[in-house]
Structure 1
Amino acid sequence: MSMADKVGPFQPTNDFWNALGWQPLPEQLEQFKLLQALLEDWNKHVNLTRLVSGHDFWVNQIFDSLWPLQRLLNQPQTLKCIDVGTGGGFPGLAVAIALPNISMTLVDSIGRKTKAVTSIVKDLGISHRVSLRTERIEKTGQNHNYRSRFDLAMARAVAITPTVAEYLLPLLSRSGEALLYRGQCSDVDTHELNLALQLLGGRIRRLDHCKLLGNRGVRHAITIEQCIPCPDIYPRLTGLPTKEPLGSVNDRSEV
């Protein structure tokens, strides 16, 4: 019995994939199953994610990672992507499996997680196009090898929207987009994000929402485009984007 055969009883049906508007190739489905098995195995040693079994994995990890990218799923492109604060590998690993033409950089500051995910990437057979960085994103964003290099920068469950925007926008190429995965997204969230984007040189291109299968709540996705090059001062020094987020009351006088 292979590792991929040891996963839980739930398996995605055609209805699952129809709700996503995309059907994986057989080899992609096997990679998703193997990813689940590898996560379950690694979770015995490292706390990567609690969402590894049944619906938790397929709905809250795979479906939630992919639903904002339906257009790319059905019109594959060659893209350079980065997942900031990847943790146990999401959304980056799910996106990398679903979009075999992309390259993906996964960034996280916790070494034990990046070590585990590096091993998972190797076992999935995608290490030729998926790389890991163990680093604070503030440093990555000021590194000339990564700044202004990516077509798509994404982050899920990392921080409030102005902070995530400050992490992602410096990474974008001139025509690139940032994708912010959110649970709730209030008017206050978008207002403060818009204030931050005036400083970062971007604007909201699209705000989408989706009701997850199995009554697992509503998810939002904010797509941001770069209008002008992000000023060199962003991202600020390590910790500042979290401690003093752009778009906060203290920053509004600057906008």
Structure 2
Amino acid sequence: MSASSERAALLAVLEEARRRGFLGPGPVDEHVRQAERFRCRIDDLLVRGALFVRAVDLGSGGGVPGLALAVDHPELTWVLVEAGERRAAFLQEAVSTLGLADRVSVRWGRAELLARDTQLRHQIDLVVVRSFGPPAVTAECATGFLRQDGYLLVSEPPYPQARQRWPAEELAELGFEPEGVTHGIQALRQARLCPERFPRRVGIPAKRPLFH
């Protein structure tokens, strides 16, 4: 499939996601542009020597950024993690439609549980997150997937925040070191494997966040 055909197929899938209510408001092209910001951040890290083979899109929803990045990075294998049953079923359809089934899989379930699956725990090089939850919840749910020196990439709000969203001291408890925002994407390196107790039980990261 040519690059133009791949893009057309991706846009059609994302239009269907929006029609079903799985993608947020605004033109589909804008959602794709957000995925491209992740691509730019990934490319920057690759230039710096990062090694990415296995990736997770956490809370994949309608497939952004995971499906778009899977199209852009054919060298990576992807796991799209989604807690909603209907969304997960749609993502499975989308993977088949886009011809990505050989390197993209969908896992339906809560991140707190999937991060303890032996096939995923500490096995992932890259976790991307567009819209999952507050920073403390996102960091705790992502950390269990990542190997040492893997990366968590999170889309940041478009406007400056009055508070520090990613406090280094609190993130250190999870083994993370924040590396700052480029292209609107925050990068956190998994400098050390997270302690065995993380993530905590389903719902606890949101009820009792490690930081605010």
- Give the TM-score normalised by the residue count of structure 2: 0.88
Distance in 2 separating the partners of 1:156 and 1:84? 8
Equivalent in the alignment of 2:34: 64
Equivalent in the alignment of 1:173: 147
Equivalent in the alignment of 1:12: none
Equivalent in the alignment of 1:87: 61
Contact 1:195-1:247 at 8 Å conserved across structures: no
SS of the equivalent of 2:2 reads helix
Distance in 1 separating the partners of 2:75 and 2:52? 5
Bigger RCO of structures 1 and 2 (CA < 8 A, at least 6 apart): 2
Equivalent in the alignment of 2:197: 233
| Residue correspondences, number | 207
Which aligned pairs between 1:1-255 and structure 2 lie closer than 5 A?
Answer: 27-41=2-16, 43-44=18-19, 46-51=20-25, 56-59=27-30, 61-70=31-40, 72-73=42-43, 79-183=53-157, 184=159, 186=161, 188-190=163-165, 193-209=167-183, 220-248=184-212
Structure 1 146/246 Cα, relative in aligned 2: closer, same or farther at 3 Å?
same
Of structures 1 and 2, the larger Rg is shown by 1
- Stretches of structure 2 that go unaligned for 5 or more consecutive residues are none
Normalized per residue, which structure has more helix?
1
Structure 1 counterpart of 2:9, one-letter code: L
Structure 1 72/160 Cα, relative in aligned 2: closer, same or farther at 3 Å?
closer
Q: CA deviation at 1:185?
A: 5.0
Structure 1 197/42 Cα, relative in aligned 2: closer, same or farther at 3 Å?
closer
Contact 1:79-1:102 at 8 Å conserved across structures: yes
Question: Which 10-residue stretch deviates more, 228-237 or 177-186?
Answer: 177-186
Structure 1 31/237 Cα, relative in aligned 2: closer, same or farther at 3 Å?
same
- Give the TM-score normalised by the residue count of structure 1: 0.74
SS of the equivalent of 1:234 reads coil
Cα deviations by residue, 1:194-218 (Å, 9 ceiling, x for unpaired): 2431210111023224xxxxxxxxx
Structure 1 240/115 Cα, relative in aligned 2: closer, same or farther at 3 Å?
same
CA RMSD of aligned residues (A): 2.2
Equivalent in the alignment of 1:21: none
Contact 2:18-2:62 at 8 Å conserved across structures: no
Structure 2 counterpart of 1:39, one-letter code: L
SS of the equivalent of 1:86 reads coil
SS of the equivalent of 1:188 reads coil
Contact 1:154-1:179 at 8 Å conserved across structures: yes
Structure 2 counterpart of 1:27, one-letter code: S
